[in-house]
Each structure stands twice: as C-alpha cells, then as structure tokens.
C-alpha cells in the first residue's frame, strides 16, 4: 500500500485517491495495437488502469519493428496483440492484461455485444465504415468510446459519449467565491466587529482584504443609494478610497484589497454557463435521471429560493495577508455558511429522490458535499453520433473553417482523412500506400475529396493541391512520433473520462504535424 502510494505519488497529486480508484476499476478495450494504440495503452498501464483487452488480428511484420516499441525481433510472425499485451504487462503487474487475436472490423460486424463489458473502448486506425458501426454499438450499450488515428503527419482524436457530466472540473484559474459584492448576514456581522481604522500599525496591516473590501463596499453603497461601483470612474474612485486608508506604504493587505477590488464590482448571481446547466432539459428529473441531474435539480431549487440567485457557497478562501486569528476566524465563517448551504441542498436532494420514487439515501452526503463545493464549475459534455457528423456536419462551423486561414490545414486534413477511407473502399489501398502509382493516386484522391466536399455541400476549391499531394506522400504511414502524440492525447482524454475529473475535449482534434497548428473542429 505504501509502495502504491509512492509509485503513484506524482499523479495522485493531480486526481487524488478517488480518481486513482476509478482508474483501477476501469476496463479498457483497445482495437488495433499499432503504435497509436500501443502508446495509448502504455500511458494508461503505467498509471495503473484496472484491465486492458487488446483486439488485433495481425501478425508482427518487419515494418512493425520500425514504429512500435512494444514488439521486437523475437515477435516476428507472432500475434501482434499477444506480443504487445505481454510487453505492457511487464510495465505494471497490477494491471490485468488480456488479448484477443481477431480482426476488430470483423468483431464489430459479427459480435456487437462483445463491447458492452467494457468501461471504455479505444478504437485506433479504423476506417469510417467501422467507426460509424462501432459508434452506434457503444452508444446503445452506454460504453464510452474514443477514436484515435495517426496518418503520416496528421491524425485525429474524437470522443463519442452521449453525455459526460463533471463535478470536479478543477479549472486552473477560477474566481474564488468570496461574496464581497453580496455578503450574507453572518459575514456582515463579523465584519462589523472589526475596526479597520485601528491606530496600531501592526493590527492595521494585518486586517485581511476581505474585511477591508466589505467595509469599503458598504461605505460606498451608503453614499451611492445602495449601489456598488459600476462605471470606470467609480471603480477608480473606489480604489483611491481604499488607498487613502493606508497608514504606511508597506501595507500588503491594502495592496491586495486594491488588486482584488474587481471582486466587489463583479455582477451578483450565477455565471451564464451554470445557468445553462440548470436550464438544461435534463434538470427536469424523472425516475431515470442520473444522480448528477438530480443534484442539479436540487441546486436549481436552491438558487431560486434560499440562495437568492447565488449557488451554494464554496467555503474556502485564498491565502491573504492577515493575522492568524482573523484569517482562521474568517475561514470558519465561510466554512459554516458552505455547510449550511450544503445541508439545504442535501434536504432538497432527498425530497426530490422521494418524489421520483428512489431511495432517499441513494446519493451519499459526501457526493452532495463535493457537488455543492464545485457547483459553480459543473460541466456537461455531449458528443454527436459520428454518423450524424459525417452526414450533416454543422454547416456554419464548416464554412468558417474552410475560409479561415488558421483552420485551412486542419480542415483540409479532416476532409482528406475521410477521403482516404472512401479511396480505400474504391481502390483497395490507401493513396500512396504503394510505390509507382503516385500521380494516379493524387488525381484519384483529389477526385474523391472533391466528391466528398460536394456531398457536404461545400465549395471544393478550398482544398489545396499541396495538401492533397502531402496526403498521398504519407501513404497511410503510422509514424512513431505522431502515434506517440496522438496516443498521448487519447490516453489523457481517457483519464479525464474515467476519473470524471477535468473537462474532456469537445469536437474532433485534428493533429497538424506540419507546423503544429492543430485545431478542434466542432462539427
């Protein structure tokens, strides 16, 4: 156990014991174990994923030794799935590693129920037809799915999950929840017990900025008909007012107050993104609703009633210049309010559960507590079915990408990555896969891509000859460095999906290995 903790220390600091436990419970299925798939799994196995099942029907060839670290000389002629599996097992004996020697495309066709046993399927190097089929299978079975593909100096990663909800989104920079523009009675009362105009310089410079700002805001409101500073001039005047109360130039707490004064000017109430979440149709709960949406329903009630337009208080405060005593007392006041807000939400959760006929204790207090603490940062991600995207991409977005210079290579690759799959259907090989027919392949790929663009209702002139040539030059090569990049991204997104922490990517990530101007396309 101690060893487990030490070994995973650097990642436990990111996703904690809970995130780690989720990873250790997860079972992952990989389709095709070329370098893209192998590198994806490698990153997960090192991190202690529960189990992996590798599906690949091919044998190791000489060429595989030039791009896949998981196979070596002794593997030639053997099952690739078996060889990759045994190397990955070597990386971490806590992981249950299995392999199935079978062609994934066959498996998709003949045994769709196979996939329902997994937490997540990662499908690499599949052509469009198989992707579309697998997507429908996994969507119905409620299994998370992620596609990854490396192709020359390009590639893509695409998540396909009906709905992914995140409580612990852990954003990097998020405005703290201090309510300086809207203090609750206990905080106001506490502030009133403190005299910020004390003559003692040591006490004066150790009054936390939270108290200074609440006092100043109150003072301002009294002389401005109850309003807080709103215009640029008023804001400047407010800062000047704070500055005028300094009694020495080294008072860090006052400098912090001036820097934090924007927190007083911030509008009250919830953000537009939270508003979006509580107004989501799923917040109208039924007996089939998930715990997340039941808690959102309770949150919505809280905001509209006890919260007075605000979410439950987060309860933590940032470090600030202060005496220890004032800081600790202030912390307790914030925590107490967070606790009482949480109890109200909890009661509402229990009431809702009762109303929809579920066990009132089926959502734990710990979960509700975490939900309340993160209420301002909730995230809901939804992904279109691949089939829908392919048949009817979001036109305004597509048009924007086709005409925007920043997107021209990325959207070109998007179209060409689809075109090469049509190409393979028509000509039984990828463009440029074999020597000697390059010129022919270039004109065929061009015709295919133009046809595809026409099907999508787009002007085909946007696709450059250079990029079409480039795509043929790649000849479906799976370069190791590109695979490591694409696989790295796929594994990182998988970690986010499984731990339910942080926010997974949306849209389709198109890797641009030419100048690294990769893009997310929201189609």
Question: Of 179-218, which residues contact another protein (CB under 8 A)?
Answer: 206
How far apart are CB 90 and another protein at their closest, in Å?
7
Residues within window 243-302 making contact with another protein, judged by CB under 8 A? none
- Nearer residue to another protein within complex by CB, 135 or 478: 478
DSSP, collapsed to helix, strand or coil, labels residue 502 as: coil
Q: Does residue number 339 form part of the binding site for another protein (CB under 8 A)?
A: no
Choices 36-44, 123-131, 134-142, 442-450; region in contact with another protein by CB under 8 A: 36-44
Residues within window 43-72 making contact with another protein, judged by CB under 8 A? 43, 46-48, 61-63, 65-67, 69, 72
How far apart are CB 151 and another protein at their closest, in Å?
11
Q: Does residue number 7 form part of the binding site for another protein (CB under 8 A)?
A: yes
- Nearer residue to another protein within complex by CB, 14 or 230: 14
Choices 193-201, 297-305, 414-422, 506-514; region in contact with another protein by CB under 8 A: 506-514
Do 17 and 63 form a contact (C-beta atoms < 8 A)?
no
Choices 25-33, 35-43, 281-289, 307-315; region in contact with another protein by CB under 8 A: 35-43
Least Cα distance to 102 among 48, 33, 172, 11 occurs for 33
The encoded tokens of residue 229 equal 């500073």
- Spatial distance between the Cα atoms of 102 and 58, rounded to a whole number of angstroms: 8
C-alpha triplet 96, 99, 103: angle, nearest 5°: 150
124 has which bridge partners?
A: 148
How far apart are CB 421 and another protein at their closest, in Å?
18
* Cα pseudo-dihedral 53, 58, 63, 69, rounded to 10: 10
The mark string for 118-137 relative to another protein (x by CB under 8 A, - otherwise) is --------------------
- Spatial distance between the Cα atoms of 89 and 46, rounded to a whole number of angstroms: 10
How far apart are CB 293 and another protein at their closest, in Å?
22
Q: Residue from 54, 396, 515, 523 that binds another protein (CB under 8 A)?
A: 515
Choices 25-33, 52-60, 256-264, 492-500; region in contact with another protein by CB under 8 A: 492-500
φ, ψ dihedrals at 432, nearest 5°: 75, 10
- Nearer residue to another protein within complex by CB, 182 or 329: 329
- 296, burial (CB in 10 Å: exposed 0-12, middle 13-18, buried 19+): buried
**What kind and span of H or E run contains 424?**
helix 408-427
Q: Does residue number 327 form part of the binding site for another protein (CB under 8 A)?
A: yes
- Spatial distance between the Cα atoms of 151 and 522, rounded to a whole number of angstroms: 21
- Nearer residue to another protein within complex by CB, 177 or 301: 177
Q: Does residue number 359 form part of the binding site for another protein (CB under 8 A)?
A: no
- Nearer residue to another protein within complex by CB, 406 or 455: 406
Helices (H), 195-282: 201-204, 209-223, 232-244, 252-259, 262-265, 272-278
Residues within window 387-446 making contact with another protein, judged by CB under 8 A? 432, 438
Do 251 and 197 form a contact (C-beta atoms < 8 A)?
no
DSSP symbols for 44-96:
HHHTT-SEEEEE--PBP-GGGGGT-TT--GGGTTSBHHHHHHHHHHHH-TTSE
The encoded tokens of residue 250 equal 């080294």
- Nearer residue to another protein within complex by CB, 282 or 506: 506
For the chain, the straight-line distance linking the first and the last C-alpha, in angstroms and rounded, comes to 45
How far apart are CB 455 and another protein at their closest, in Å?
26
Do 274 and 143 form a contact (C-beta atoms < 8 A)?
no
Q: Residue from 78, 89, 103, 169 that binds another protein (CB under 8 A)?
A: 169
Q: Residue from 9, 233, 359, 405 that binds another protein (CB under 8 A)?
A: 9
- Nearer residue to another protein within complex by CB, 223 or 272: 272
Q: Does residue number 18 form part of the binding site for another protein (CB under 8 A)?
A: no
The mark string for 84-103 relative to another protein (x by CB under 8 A, - otherwise) is ------xx------------
- Nearer residue to another protein within complex by CB, 215 or 377: 377
- Nearer residue to another protein within complex by CB, 344 or 505: 505
C-alpha triplet 17, 85, 154: angle, nearest 5°: 85
> CA gyration radius for the chain?
28
- Nearer residue to another protein within complex by CB, 292 or 511: 511
**What kind and span of H or E run contains 504?**
none
How far apart are CB 283 and another protein at their closest, in Å?
22
Q: Does residue number 178 form part of the binding site for another protein (CB under 8 A)?
A: no
- Nearer residue to another protein within complex by CB, 21 or 136: 21
Do 254 and 245 form a contact (C-beta atoms < 8 A)?
yes
Q: Residue from 149, 300, 422, 496 that binds another protein (CB under 8 A)?
A: 496
């Amino acid at each position: 156990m101690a060893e487990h903790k030490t070994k995973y220390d650097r990642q436990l600091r990111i996703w904690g014991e809970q995130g780690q436990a989720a990873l250790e419970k997860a079972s992952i299925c990989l389709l095709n174990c070329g370098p893209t798939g192998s590198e994806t799994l490698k990153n997960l196995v090192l991190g202690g994923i529960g189990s992996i099942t590798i599906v690949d029907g091919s044998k190791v060839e000489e060429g595989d030794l030039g791009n896949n670290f998981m196979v070596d000389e002794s593997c030639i002629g053997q099952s690739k799935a078996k060889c990759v599996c045994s190397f990955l097992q070597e990386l971490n004996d806590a992981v249950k590693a299995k392999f199935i020697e079978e062609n994934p495309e066959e498996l998709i066709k003949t045994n769709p129920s196979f996939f329902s046993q997994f937490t997540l399927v990662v499908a690499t190097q599949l052509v469009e037809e198989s992707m579309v089929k697998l997507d429908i299978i996994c969507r119905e079975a409620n299994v998370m799915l992620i596609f990854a593909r490396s192709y020359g100096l390009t590639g893509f990663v695409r998540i396909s999950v009906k709905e992914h909800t995140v409580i612990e989104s852990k954003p990097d920079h998020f405005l703290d929840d201090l309510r300086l523009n809207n203090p609750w009675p206990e905080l106001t009362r506490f502030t009133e017990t403190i005299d910020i105009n004390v003559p003692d310089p040591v006490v004066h410079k150790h009054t936390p900025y939270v108290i200074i700002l609440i006092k100043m805001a109150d003072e301002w409101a009294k002389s401005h008909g109850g309003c807080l500073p709103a215009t640029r001039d008023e804001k400047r005047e407010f800062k000047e007012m704070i500055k005028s109360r300094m009694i020495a130039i080294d008072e860090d707490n006052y400098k912090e107050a001036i820097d934090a004064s924007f927190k007083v000017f911030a509008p009250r109430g919830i953000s537009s993104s939270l508003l979006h979440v509580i107004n989501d149709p799923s917040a109208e709960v039924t007996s089939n609703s998930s715990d997340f949406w039941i808690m959102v329903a309770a949150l919505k009630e809280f905001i509209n009633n006890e919260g007075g337009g605000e979410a439950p208080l987060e309860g933590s405060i940032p470090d600030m210049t202060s005496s220890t005593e004032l800081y600790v007392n202030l912390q307790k006041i914030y925590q107490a309010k967070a606790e009482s807000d949480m109890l109200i939400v909890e009661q509402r959760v229990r009431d809702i559960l009762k109303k929809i006929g579920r066990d009132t204790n089926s959502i734990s207090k710990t979960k509700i507590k975490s939900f309340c603490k993160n209420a301002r940062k909730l995230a809901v991600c939804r992904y279109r079915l691949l089939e829908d995207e392919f048949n009817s991409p979001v036109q305004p977005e597509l048009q924007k990408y086709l005409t925007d210079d920043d997107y021209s290579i990325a959207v070109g690759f998007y179209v060409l990555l689809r075109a090469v799959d049509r190409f393979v259907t028509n000509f039984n090989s990828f463009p440029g896969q074999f020597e000697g027919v390059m010129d022919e392949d270039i004109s065929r790929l061009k015709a295919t891509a133009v046809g595809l663009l026409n099907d999508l209702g787009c002007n085909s002139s946007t696709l450059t000859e250079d990029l079409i040539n480039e795509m043929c030059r790649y000849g479906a090569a799976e370069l190791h460095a590109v695979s490591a990049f694409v696989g790295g991204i796929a594994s990182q997104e998988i970690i986010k999906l499984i731990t339910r922490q942080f926010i997974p990517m949306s849209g389709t990530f198109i890797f641009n290995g030419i100048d690294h101007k990769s893009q997310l396309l929201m189609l």
